[in-house]
Amino acid sequence: MALDTASYFILISSGINLGFSAVLVIFLIFNFIRKKTIGTAMLLTAYTFFSLTSAASIIYRLLYIAQGGDSALIEQLASLGPLLLLPAFAYLYVFACRHILKDSEIMRTYIFALIVAFFGIATAVVAYDNFNVSDHLNRVFTTKVFVTNSIYTISYIHFIQIFQIVVSIYVTGRIGWRAWRLARKSDQPVRKRGLQTIGIGVLLYLLGGMLSAFDSTVSGIPALMIVVAVLRALAFAAAYIGMYLGWVMPNWYRKMIRKRSWFEIQYKSLAKGAENV
């Protein structure tokens, strides 16, 4: 099936998004090799799953184009994107608890276990439905499907997507809110800018999520599909970069903040002197 204009732009935007996230994963690998800390490993794991989500989206669209539309397999593969985001947010949440969130160890363990457990169960269901992994699993799920047939046929894919949305809003919302609050209270320029950068990254990620909600709305309108796809890819790419800079704070970014802070201090001094004249 030939690529139409909308599909062409959507694939390009998805590829750009994957490219940015993959580059950040490479940076985090080097960062982990240098520091060898648990926090860096958690952030690396989270970004790896973010990259896999982008890769799954590209594979899904390529299969959709190759087969000329929806199929049972493609419909099931559509669940891989939100499914892979669950461990990404689980590790991002635990990482944030080491830095800016103040959850107790019991609470963070329960939340992490809940997300990971749901991810494991959902993965098993998708594997069963797509690949029929074993006769034993087939017998187990056949019984359960028969008992809860009315619930199962509603589409567990939608349930996975809803759970992923709830988790993403909960994790990113708390991180963003906490980052902005700490930034307001901080009088250290580097820490303040870093927290603000994390907050901006969270806002951009939520914007990308909102744009994703328009996929079905603009389906069949090529111009709007292109606009939504490009804006969504840019929002996600900028969000990944913003949160990476805020969390890691590379030396070049620290130097840029310090230099900017010096200029701001000089400007404020000049402005205050002008008022006193």
How buried is 203 (Cβ within 10 angstroms: 0-12 exposed, 13-18 middle, 19+ buried)?
middle
Closest CA to 77 of 148, 131, 17, 144: 131
CATH 1.20.1070 is the classification of domain 5-272: yes
Half-sphere exposure of 23 toward its Cβ, with a 13 Å CA cutoff?
A: 11
Tokens read off for 77: 């593969």
Query: Quick check: pTM over 0.85?
Result: no
- pLDDT in 10s for each residue of the chain, 277 residues: 445 566 677 777 778 888 888 999 999 999 999 888 888 999 999 999 988 888 887 777 777 777 665 555 666 666 677 788 889 999 999 999 988 888 888 998 999 999 988 888 877 776 666 555 444 444 444 444 444 444 444 456 677 778 888 888 899 999 999 999 998 888 888 888 889 999 999 999 988 888 877 766 766 677 777 788 788 888 888 999 999 999 988 888 888 887 765 555 554 554 454 444 4
With helix as H, strand as E and coil as C, how does the chain read? CCCCHHHHHHHHHHHHHHHHHHHHHHHHHHHHHHHCCHHHHHHHHHHHHHHHHHHHHHHHHHHHHHHCCCCHHHHHHCCHHHHHHHHHHHHHHHHHHCCCCCCCHHHHHHHHHHHHHHHHHHHHHHHHHHHCCCHHHHHHHHHHHHHCHHHHCCCHHHHHHHHHHHHHHHHHHHHHHHHHHHHHHCCCHHHHHHHHHHHHHHHHHHHHHHHHCCHHHHCCCHHHHHHHHHHHHHHHHHHHHHHHHHHHCCHHHHHHHHHHHHHHHHHHHHHHHHHHC
Domain range summary for the chain, segments of one domain joined by +: 5-272
Give whole-number Cα distances, 152 to 39, 147, 148, 157, in Å.
39, 9, 6, 10
Half-sphere exposure of 135 toward its Cβ, with a 13 Å CA cutoff?
A: 0
Tokens 């200029």 belong to which residue?
263
Q: How far apart are CA 51 and CA 48, in angstroms?
A: 5
Q: What is the pLDDT of residue 145?
A: 44
Residues shown for the chain: 277
Q: What is the pLDDT of residue 113?
A: 92
Tokens read off for 266: 């000089």
C-alpha gyration radius of the chain: 22
Q: What is the pLDDT of residue 121?
A: 81
* Contact (Cβ atoms closer than 8 angstroms) between residue 166 and residue 85: no
Q: What is the pLDDT of residue 201?
A: 92
Q: How far apart are CA 231 and CA 16, in angstroms?
A: 12
Q: How far apart are CA 55 and CA 81, in angstroms?
A: 9
- Residue 148 CA to its chain's centroid (Å): 32
Half-sphere exposure of 50 toward its Cβ, with a 13 Å CA cutoff?
A: 30
